[in-house]
């Protein structure tokens, strides 16, 4: 069994860009939707076991690369454009955290079957519009077209644009009753439940599902003793 804060992909070497202790480059991508996976770069929010994997711009780049949003060459180019401590790095980090928190607040509301906060919707709308302002329609190798960005034109838009599009796509066209929050203790990860009967409860059965099962067993044994 592994925890979200412990490495368990033997192949995932620490990214040279990540902050010490951050697993942005190797976190499990179990949410089914890019924007929800992005919210899972933090876990146990508000509790004693809170883990934050986005502590600097390098973590943002490492995660986006890990999630398939940047090629190796693009990540190297982005790291060159936003070296640690630079104004560009600060801007990227702040924009990434703002986008992530907006998506989290909105998706959590869906998971709790209430209306999302207006401030979070306004923030996502603004970031989405900003990102699209420098995007262009480009042909995809597999056919059709997609929004594309130029890292050199606007780094923040190029790195965060796909995540903003993913979040907007969720709101505009998907079954929001499938947005759920993991029931695991100190977890809080969000995911899109694609099971037929909509009864998925855990981010990962092997992490939170098993831990809950063990807690139930311990309680039952305690009661029997």
Task: Tell me: does residue 208 bind Zn ion (CB under 5 A).
Answer: yes
C-alpha separations of 18 from 15, 55, 79, 89 in Å: 5, 8, 11, 13
Q: Are strands 51-52 and 42-43 parallel, antiparallel or unpaired?
A: antiparallel
Our CB check for Zn ion shows the closer of 30 and 57 to be 30
Nearest CA to 161 out of 114, 109, 96 is that of 96
User: Closest distance between Zn ion and the C-beta of residue 27, in Å?
Assistant: 12
What value does the CA radius of gyration of the chain take, rounded to a whole number of Å?
18
Task: Tell me: does residue 69 bind Zn ion (CB under 5 A).
Answer: no
Query: How far is 22 from 18, CA to CA, in rounded Å?
Result: 6
What is the footprint of Zn ion within residues 165-204 (CB under 5 A)?
Answer: 182, 184, 187, 189, 203
Our CB check for Zn ion shows the closer of 2 and 220 to be 2
Task: Tell me: does residue 103 bind Zn ion (CB under 5 A).
Answer: no
User: Closest distance between Zn ion and the C-beta of residue 147, in Å?
Assistant: 31
Binding interface with Zn ion (CB under 5 A): 182, 184, 187, 189, 203, 208
């Amino acid at each position: 069994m592994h925890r979200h804060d412990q490495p368990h992909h033997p192949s995932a070497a620490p990214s040279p860009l990540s902050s010490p202790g951050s697993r942005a480059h190797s976190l499990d991508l179990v949410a089914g939707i890019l924007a929800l996976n992005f919210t899972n770069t933090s876990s146990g929010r508000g509790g004693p076991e809170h883990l934050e994997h986005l502590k600097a711009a390098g973590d943002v780049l490492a995660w986006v690369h890990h999630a398939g949003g940047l090629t190796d060459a693009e990540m190297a180019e982005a790291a060159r454009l936003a070296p640690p401590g630079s104004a560009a790095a600060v801007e990227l980090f702040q924009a990434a955290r703002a986008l992530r928190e907006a998506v989290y607040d909105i998706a959590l509301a869906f998971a709790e079957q209430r209306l999302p906060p207006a401030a979070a919707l306004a923030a996502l709308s603004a970031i989405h519009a900003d990102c699209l302002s420098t995007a262009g329609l480009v042909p995809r190798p597999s056919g059709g077209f997609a929004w594309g960005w130029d890292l050199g034109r606007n780094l923040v838009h190029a790195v965060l644009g796909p995540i903003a599009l993913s979040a907007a796509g969720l709101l505009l066209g998907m079954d929001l009753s499938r947005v759920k929050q993991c029931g695991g203790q100190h977890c809080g990860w969000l995911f899109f439940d694609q099971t037929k009967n909509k009864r998925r409860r855990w981010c990962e059965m092997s992490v939170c599902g098993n831990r809950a099962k063990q807690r139930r067993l311990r309680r039952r044994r305690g009661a029997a003793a």
